[in-house]
Amino acid sequence: MAKQTSIHRHFIDYFHKEPFVFSAPARINLIGEHIDYNDGMVMPAAVNRSFTFAITPGQSDKCNIFADDLEEGLSFSIHDLNAGDTWVNYLMGVIDAFARRGKVIRGFDLVFGGDIPSGAGMSSSAALSCGFAFALNTIFESSLSRLELAKIAQHAEHEFVGVNCGMMDQYACLFGEPDSLLMLDCRSLTHQTLAFPLKEYSLLLVDTKVKHTLGSSAYNERRASCEEGLFGVQKMNPQVKSFRDITSTMLAQAKDQLSDETYQRCAYVIQEMDRVQKTSQAIASGNLTEVGRLLYESHAGLSKQYEVSCAEADFLVSLAEEDQKAVLGARMMGGGFGGCTINLIDQGKESAFKEKVRSKYFAQFKKEPDFYSVKLSAGVRQITPGTQS
């Protein structure tokens, strides 16, 4: 709330008028990593860290933007969307996607900022692009659905940032509900809501402080491996459309056609899809111990088979495993190569766990981890009504 108030006040200081104000949350993913782009089912949620957008429509084509956290401002025309390698690419990609859909927008004045840590695997990029898309949709009365806005935000990632991501992050940011996970079907782009009242447990993120940059990482290369594996299976099973249709037996039959690296990555995808289903069943039955076991199993697959973890994340998960009475489950979260681990932890033992991690992590890596306790929250929403220019 303090950050929302600050952004609102700074907008009035800069532009001397009352803005519309919107909030766009970060997201977590309990389980189901790297399977959204393989038509799998995943289990994300919006959480109580967010970007705030204060914005008003303009009368010309000029866009005036101030990134409050960076203390950096810039201006450009909506007809000149060529920014280079910078955060504004996400916003320009959104503007481009509106234009491609025939939606007429003008310039605008915007101040944004928030408390989502960059590079921590909480999808600050999705919050940025989804929140901005929702704001444009509102102030220019474009009447696009939340699903269409998720596709617009994904377009920005694909075409203006160079990350060939799936839809999970954008969907969770826009459709999140309080105290709930989304059981998102990435093939149909529909979801079921899973109530997840934690009571005596909580979700604690531990930040490795290793900043991933997915556009220049192996993310796209992992996706290419999956496409290679899918093609190999399809040669023997032409009815297969995606990994949702592949069994472990089918993959084993195609093993000789694949490199060992590709085979292991594809095996992880099939196994992770199964873990998501088992996690859903465990949540429905209230078996959090089983949920935790599946989280540890997921991390092992991400680290050893899909190879998207890092030494720091592996170390943090190993610390959690040492005391499974305190931490029921843990795994790396997000695209990988850094970011946070997610820990399902006994609330009464959280302080002791933090101290243990802080001490041992610093001794091993000579840097302090950060900790974020998160609560499941609502998706993108409008905070104040604002006025039209």
CA distances from 171 to 112, 146, 209 (A): 21, 8, 26
Separation of alpha carbons 52 and 70, rounded Å: 14
**CA distance readout (Å), 276 to 34, 211, 294, 381:** 12, 27, 9, 28
Closest C-alpha to 58, from 78, 73, 74, 72? 78
CA-closest candidate to residue 24, choices 125, 142, 92, 168: 125
Catalytic site residue 169? yes
How far, in Å, CA of 86 to CA of 199, rounded? Answer: 41
The letter for the amino acid at 127 is A
Annotated catalytic residue, options 68, 109, 169, 207: 169
Measured distance CA(162)–CA(155) in Å, rounded: 10
Question: Which pair of tokens denotes residue 273?
Answer: 């899809």
The label of the residue with tokens 């196994």 reads 271
Report how far residue 240's alpha carbon sits from residue 233's, in angstroms, rounded to the nearest whole number: 8
Residue 143 to residues 90, 189, 253, Cα–Cα distance (Å): 21, 19, 48
Selection from 207, 203, 205, 202 nearest residue 361 by Cα? 207
Which amino acid, one-letter code, is at 250? Answer: M
List the catalytic residues: 169
